[in-house]
Chain A
Amino acid sequence: MHPSRALRYALTLLLLPFGNALAAQVQVAVASNFTAPMREIAGRFERDTGHQARLAFGATGKFYAQIRNGAPFEVLLSADDTTPGRLEQEGAAIPGSRFTYAVGRLVLWSPTAGLVQDGPDLLRKGDFRHLAMANPKTAPYGAAALATLEHLGLDDTLRGRLVQGENIAQTHQFVASGNAQLGFIALSQVAKDGRIATGSGWVVPTDIHPAIRQEAVLLTKGQDNPAAKALLDYLAQPQIRALIQSYGYGLE
């Protein structure tokens, strides 16, 4: 091969990922509870728009600290409705871009089939050694779990048996590995087609804990990225909303 042709060939290979001028990448910070649906949504998003969503999963509070300190995220899918607002006030997010993409459902879950039938009754009997929940100070699902225990008047009696996960994914791991017999986790972690797929659980009624409104927001770093904007639009489309619902979320 002639050297100049080889060079052109190499350059073409290098530039191939940028071949479609309209296709772009977007860096997305995703709350842990939304891991499973977001993986599926990202796949469809790439197929439908050509844009690629690169996902990072973690605790919303940690993402907040990282975004405030210059993390390259362009979209945040938060587990709550306070963090996006705060980022907006502090100039790290674009005003007017946020909306509720999902309403989280809390479930008291055990990997043992048939164990959780009457949730409040099971908690009152207290026939378990450890009850797992996410850290109520930092995770909205943890705060909802604590509110549920307070509503049942059990927060004091069960205090000695509570173990806290750093985020909802770790909380699920504590229960799934059998180290905690029970745990408050996100319905989306164990649901398939809107129903609990493995083990047994009690879906906590939404009127006994504050609503877990999960907001998406466009971050300042993503304001000029068409893929970031496209992803937010995509999340609000009817077929995606139906998909989100199938993971056990509510909608607004």
Chain B
Amino acid sequence: MPLDSVALAAIWLTFKLASVTTLVLLLIGTPIAWWLARTTSRMKGPIGAVVALPLVLPPTVLGFYLLVAMGPNGFIGQFTQSIGLGTLPFTFAGLVVGSVFYSLPFVVQPLQNAFEAIGERPLEAAATLRAGPWDTFFSVVLPLARPGFITASILGFAHTVGEFGVVLMIGGNIPGQTRVVSVQIYDHVEAMEYAQAHWLAGGMLLFSFLVLLVLYGSRLKQGWRG
């Protein structure tokens, strides 16, 4: 069998990591994107730049800072220790934190674009009908921004699946906890197990292509809203 139990464990872990990360990102990315889309504050530029940083930073920079910050002497590490969680590197929770930073722009930016495309008029119309802000958000904004949410979810998920450098730096290669598919492939290559590497790497290639095919296929149909 080309995919043994070790490979299957890595695939399942990667799926779990990408799913949890995408959920967390939708929860924290939506308010950030909404604020960025509506605000006239002078902080819009700096905050937008911070959100976009992971697009240009090498994952090693992110991984290194996370390792130091989440370590026993870092500020995140001191906080997690004080609430009794211990330190986060080498844990699944640590990988989720790293992935949230790593994939943040891939969720926030499509959402921001979708919110901006809605414009003022539907919101004004809702206000004249005496809809409260929450009601407006759930009955008007969410349905109109649906394509944006779909794009954000797909990109956030796929980008987390493709994560390597950050996981390598803070993961510690623990089977079932931090050894995701990309790290497993790297392991196989270093151990000269090229056949196993090929199965996983080929699977990754196919998966990534299909995700992008779905994404761009649906976008073309919708005329690139989203």
Chains A and B are bound partners: yes
Beyond the given A130-B172, A177-B68, please list 18 additional residue pairs across the A-B interface where CB-CB is below 8 A.
A61-B191, A129-B87, A130-B90, A135-B187, A137-B187, A138-B187, A138-B191, A162-B174, A163-B90, A164-B173, A164-B174, A166-B168, A166-B186, A174-B89, A178-B71, A178-B73, A179-B70, A179-B90
- A65 with B67: CB separation less than 8 A: no
**Chain B residue at minimum C-beta to C-beta distance from A167:** B190
A170 vs chain B, min Cβ distance (A): 8
Contact code string A169-195 (vs B, CB < 8 Å = 1, else 0): 010011001111000000000000000
B59-100 interface code vs A (CB 8 A; 1 in, 0 out): 000000001101111000000000000110110000000000
A216: Cβ under 8 A from any B Cβ:
no
Within the complex, the shortest CB–CB distance from A79 to chain B, in Å, comes to 12
Residue among A137, A165, A173 making CB contact with B191, cutoff 8 Å: A137
Q: Decide: A164 and B172 in contact? CB cutoff 8 A.
A: yes
Complex Cα spacing A163 to B175, Å: 10
Within 8 A of B (CB), among A119-163: 129-130, 132, 135, 137-138, 162-163
Residues on B with C-beta less than 8 A from A132 are: 172
Question: Roughly how many angstroms separate A180 CA and B168 CA in the complex, as a whole number?
Answer: 15
Identity of the chain B residue whose Cβ is nearest the Cβ of A171 in the assembled complex: B172
B192 contacts A by Cβ under 8 Å: yes
Is A62 interfacial (CB-CB < 8 Å)? Answer: yes
**Interface membership of B189, Cβ < 8 A:** yes
B226 CB, nearest partner CB in chain A, Å: 38
- Interface flag for A64 (CB, 8 Å): yes
From A162, A164, A166, A179, contact of B72 by CB (8 A)? A179
Known contacts A130-B90, A179-B71, A179-B87; is A65 also within 8 Å of B172 by CB?
no
Q: How far is the CA of A177 from the CA of B71 in the complex (A)?
A: 7
Taking a contact as CB atoms under 8 Å apart, the answer to whether A65 and B87 are in contact is: no
Chain B residues in 8 Å Cβ range of A166: 168, 173, 186, 190
Query: A70 → chain B, closest Cβ, in Å?
Result: 15
Task: Give B45 Cβ to nearest chain A Cβ, in Å.
Answer: 33
Q: Which residues of B contact A173 (CB under 8 A)?
A: 67
- Which residues of chain B are within 8 angstroms of A130 by Cβ–Cβ distance? 90, 172
Residue interface bits A5-42, CB-to-B below 8 A is 1, else 0: 00000000000000000000000000000000000000
